[in-house]
Amino acid sequence: MKNITEENVPETFRNFQKDFTVYAPGRINLIGEHTDYNNGFVLPTAIDKTIKLHFRANNTPYTCSVYSKTYHKSFSFDLRKISRSDVDWENYILGVVNEIQKLGEYPEGFDCIIESDLPVGAGISSSAALECGTAFGLNELFHLDLSRQAIAELSRNAEHNYVGTKCGIMDQYASILSKEGHLILLDCRNLEATYIPADLEGYKLLLLNTGVSHSLASSEYNTRRKECEEAVKLISVAYPEVKSLRDVNLERLYEVKDSLPEQLYRRAHYVVSENDRVLKAVEAIKQKDLEQFGLLMYDSHKGLRDEYQVSCKELDFLVELTTEYSPVKGARMMGGGFGGCTINLIEENALDEFIKIASEAYQKEFGITPEAIVVSPEQGTYLKKN
């Protein structure tokens, strides 16, 4: 791996004649957090911040070179000898190539330059964008036969096997299968997607980036997943038909309460309630009842903070702040937790004022200015020739 400055860009990447550029977006999630790996419901969509991957086939059978302008680093690998790297970001690419090979598809040598306006560690899934963008590009470059859904799944597998986060499918699915102006109600049990028009007239979606990304995120994530599996095991003693928390409703959960340790009960209670909230939120959007939608966002945050315990003081501060500012109808932490962004549903004409209030208060409390990003539902991964 080389440290790259403007002067020492490796020969391969100078005067780079690309075949095409893939635009791989980050995602937001309106509601339905930590439900995907429990076979539940989520409500994400892609945004207009993307990772751009400039690809070209290099007419060699096995040699691949990748240069990240974000990390100022490049690396090369041989398609016959792919294994995990000690460098985190390389694993997203190596993992994807390896998962494609496992499916019996064989990319050939390629070069790729990566640049991005997606902040890393902000909980808007730059990792899924990098995975899906890589797979999408190789699919096009070598005429592989991968559907968008297959790309989402193999990208999720790459994250499990190469990066080590046992994530669900939401991020990859949203990055590659979103449609402009729509939210995806995704049933993660069977990957059935319903596209809901994101009719937010008069309102905007605002992300506030805490600027922190606590290091326990990945390990705690895997622990939560294990806790949910453990809860399912215990519940299935009385109800063998229960295969995931998706198969449990609040009534049944209450019945088995005494057979679950307190902590597992709280985790399960959060997941089961959150699944309900997603469906109620979709109804609220359809009815144009954004006040109700906002209340569900607040309930979601409370559950993530108190029952699922994946929030942190910076996220809680930003959500709490909104409760004293009526043009914000709802707010909650978004994504895996322990840092990253809050998502806020706010009256359009109050945007500037609120960003100012939130920035000053956060700066005073934590000494940093939170980045404010106004987002709207955009299309999933796409390609441009020039």
Contact residues for ligand GAF (CB under 6 A)?
33-34, 36-37, 125, 167-168, 170-171, 335-336
Closest distance to ligand GAF from the beta carbon of 283 (Å): 21
With respect to ligand GAF, which residue has the nearer C-beta, 168 or 211?
168
With respect to ligand GAF, which residue has the nearer C-beta, 213 or 359?
213
Distance CA 138, CA 372 (A): 34
Residue 254 DSSP SS3: helix
Please identify which of the residues 171, 187, 306, 316 carries the catalytic annotation.
171
Q: Which of 26, 318, 386, 335 is nearest to 174 (CA)?
A: 26
C-alpha of 18 from chain center: 28
Contact 193, 380 (CB under 8 A): no
Q: Where are the alpha helices (DSSP H) in 243-350?
A: 250-255, 262-286, 290-302, 313-322
Closest distance to ligand GAF from the beta carbon of 317 (Å): 20
Q: How far is CA 347 from CA 200, 204, 205, 276, 328, in A?
A: 10, 6, 9, 26, 6
Contact 107, 146 (CB under 8 A): no
Residue 309 DSSP SS3: coil
Closest distance to ligand GAF from the beta carbon of 174 (Å): 9
Closest distance to ligand GAF from the beta carbon of 335 (Å): 4
With respect to ligand GAF, which residue has the nearer C-beta, 41 or 55?
41
Asked about 171 being catalytic, the answer comes back as: yes
With respect to ligand GAF, which residue has the nearer C-beta, 169 or 264?
169
- The catalytic residues are 171
